[in-house]
Structure 1
Amino acid sequence: MGVALALVLSLAAPSASPGDVETFGELKAALPADKARRAAMLLRFADSDRPARADRLRALRAARDHKPKRALSFVIEARLQGAAGANGARARALAAAAAAFAKDGQVARKEHVLRVKKADDVLARLVKVVLAREKHAAPPALSQSEQALSAEATEALTAWDALDDRTQRARAQLWLARLRATAAPPGGPVDVAGGLADLASAVASCKGRDGAAVRLEALRARSRLLEGQGDLEGAALASLAADREAAVDPRQPASRQTASRYLKSTASLELCRRARAQGIVCGKAEQRTFGDTLHYDFSREPRGTFDPEVNAEVLADYDTLLQQCIRDAVRAKVPITQTVVELEWAVGNDGRLSGYDLRPLRLRNTSYDACLREAFAVFRYPPYGGEMQHVRLSFEVGGEL
C-alpha cells in the first residue's frame, strides 16, 4: 500500500471530526479523550488547508503523542513545509517520517518516503540549473547532463504522486516548463506551446490554498512567456491571475482572509499600460475572464505633485467601474441613453476622492448616482501636496450598449 493511500485510510475515521473548526484552540476544546480518535482529529485538522499554517503544525506535534500516527504526522508536515517553501524543514520532516516508518517495521513506506527525498534533491538541482540558464539572454542548447537532469526530474514526478504531494509535483512541472523555455535549439524558436502546456498542467494540478504560491509562480512564468511572444493581452491576464493567487495567505485561517480590490501588481499595471497602447483594454478582458476587475492602489505611491498623466493612468485603471455603472443604469431603465454625462470629482491630498458632482441633474439620486458613489469610493490617486485638485470627465452615452 502506498503512503498516499495509507494516509487517506488513516484519516478516514468515522468518529468525531474537526468539521469547520479553523483554530487550534477550538480544536483542542473538542478533542476526545481516546488517543486514537484524538490523533485522527488532529491529523485531519492538519491536513486541511483552511486553518492557519502555524495551527496545523501545532496539531501535528500534538498528534505525535499517539505513536502509531507519528510517521504520518511527519509525512503531512513534509507536505505542509514544502507548500510553504521551507525546504530545510521539509527535508527534516521526510527524514523523521522515514525513521518512524523504519522503527515501526514498515519498510515499503520508508522506501516511498526516501524516494520522495531523492526526488526533492533532483528538483533542487533543477532549480539551480534553470536559474543559471535564465541569466543568459540567449541560453545555449541543453548539455547532456542538463538533458539527463530533465529526464530524471520528469521520472521523479511519480515519487510525489506516491505521497499525494500535488504541490511539490506541480512545482517540479513549473521548473521543467521554465527549463523548456530556455532550451531553444541554436537559431530555432522556443517551444512556447510545450511550455504553456506544462505551466497549465502545473496550475490545474495544484489545488487549494496550499498550492497558491506554486500557481502564482506558474502564472508569472506563463505571463513572461506570452509577453516574449508579443501576446500582451494573454500576458496581462496571466499576471492578473497571479495577483489573485498572491492574495491567498495560508498563514491566516481561510475565513479570516478578506477580499481586496487593490491586488493589481506593478507588473500587471505595466502590462496593461503597454496593451492599452495597442488598443487592448485590460479591464474588459479581465471582466470577461474573471467576472470582476482588480485595481492598483496608486495611493501607495510616493507623495509628489498632481500629474495629469498619472490622472489618465488612474482613470484607465478604474474606468471599468464607471462603465459598469452605465450598464447597470441602462438595465435599471435610468434615462441615461442619448445623454452627455458630465462628472467632476475632487481628489484629496491622500489620494482618495472627497466628493463628486453629476450632471445632468435628472441623473442625481438615481441608481446610477448610487453606483458612482460606490465606484468613486474605490478610486485611489497618488498622494500629493498643495491645493485640492479636481478632475472633469464628459462623455456621451449612446443608444446601444
Structure 2
Amino acid sequence: MATVNIRRDVDDKFYRYKMPVLLTKIEGRGNGIKTVIPNMEDVARALARPPAYPTKFFGCELGAQTSMNNDRYIVNGAHTADRLRELLDTFIDKFVLCANCKNPETELVITGKGNNEDIHRDCKACGAQTGLDMRHKLITYILKNPPKKKEKGGKKGKKSSGMTAEANVGGPIVFDKTEDGSGEDDEGSPAGTPGQAAVPTTGTDIDAALGRTDPILGDPDAAEAITKKLQTVDLGANGNGNGNGHGGDDDEDDDAAGSPYAVLGIWLQENRDAPDADIIAKIKEVDIVGKHKVLVEIGEKLFTDDVDKELKKRIALLQVLVTSEKHQKSLLGGLERLLALSPTSDALLAAGTTPKVLMTLYQADILDEEVVQQWGTHVSKKYVDKDKSKKVRKSADAFLKWLDEAEESDDE
C-alpha cells in the first residue's frame, strides 16, 4: 500500500513517520449515498489513534452522520478522497502532532473528572504536554470513548492506539495478508488483520521456569508479572525460517479431519492440563501461528464444564494469543460452542456460567467492550445453530446489562 509522510508539509522522503494513503469508496445513490473508508484502521494505527476518532472528525467537519459498524468506517454523503485527506491533515495537526515539536509520537491523556475533564497530548519525543481545543465537537466523543489505556504488562497488538504485537511481545511480527474476510459472521462482520505472533522455539515449561502460580484476577500484581514474563519468551519465527505460519489461508475447514485445527483440537482435549508453553509449542508444530481460528479450538476444546474456573489459569496464555478483534470473535465463537454443545448445556447456562466467563475475560482485558456488546446483540449461526446461539446470548444478559449500566454511569 502506498504511504505518505504523516506531516504532508514535510517533503523529506526519509521522514520516518509514514501512514497509508487514505482511500475512499462511494457506495449507494440518492439519499443513501455514502463514502466508505476501507483502510481507516491502517491509517489510524499509523497515527496511534482509534479509527473512530478521525472518522468522527470527518463527520463533525462535514456536518455529516458517520457510522462505524462491523469494522466499516462510513461518512454519509459523497466526499472526494482529496477532501477527506485535507481533513485528515487537519485532524493530525489538532489531535496528533505535538504542538511543541510537531512530532506525531503523542498519546491523548484525559485528566480531571466530571465538568473539569481535560485532554492533552503527551509527547514521547520532547516530553511536552500540550492541550487540545476543548471546544471542538470531537472532544465530547473522545471523553465518552477514551483511548484504551496502556497496561503495564503490555497488550499484544489488539490496542487501537497503534502499538503493534512486535513492540509488546519482543519478537518479529508477520502480518498475514492472506487472511481475507472469510471470518465474517452472518451479519457480514469483517475481521481485522491480525498480527501473526510467534511462538517459543522449544517446549520449555514456562510455568516451571517462571515459578508460576495460577493467575487469579484477585491478585493482579501476580498475574501481571506472569503475563509480562510470558511475553518476553523468544517468539521467533518457526523452523522454516520465514515465520509465516501455516502456509494457506485461515479459511481452511477447521473441522476437516487431518486439518491443523482438527489436530490441535484433539490434542487440546487430550492435554487440558498441559502448561502454556506446551500449548504454544503445539500451535507452532501444526504451523498455524497467529491464526484466529486457533482461538476457536482453544475456546471449545481446552476447557470443560468448569470453564469459569479454568479460564483464570489461562489468562496469561490468552493475553498472548489474542492479538486482534478477529481473535476475540473467534475465542467467543469457541466458548459459544463449548457452552451450547455441552451435554450439560442447560445447567451451565442456568448457573450463570456465561456472565462469569465474559466478566473474567473482560476484566483481564482480553475482550473489548465493543466486541462483547456486538456479539451479545447479533445472533449468528456461524458456530452453532441459531436457536442455541440465541440461548447462549440470552444467558449473557446479566453481563451485557452490567456493561450498559456502567457505560451510562460513565456518561453521567
Tell me whether the two structures share a fold, i.e. TM-score over 0.5: no
Bigger Rg, structure 1 or 2 = 1
TM-score, normalised via structure 2 length: 0.29
TM (norm. structure 1) is 0.30
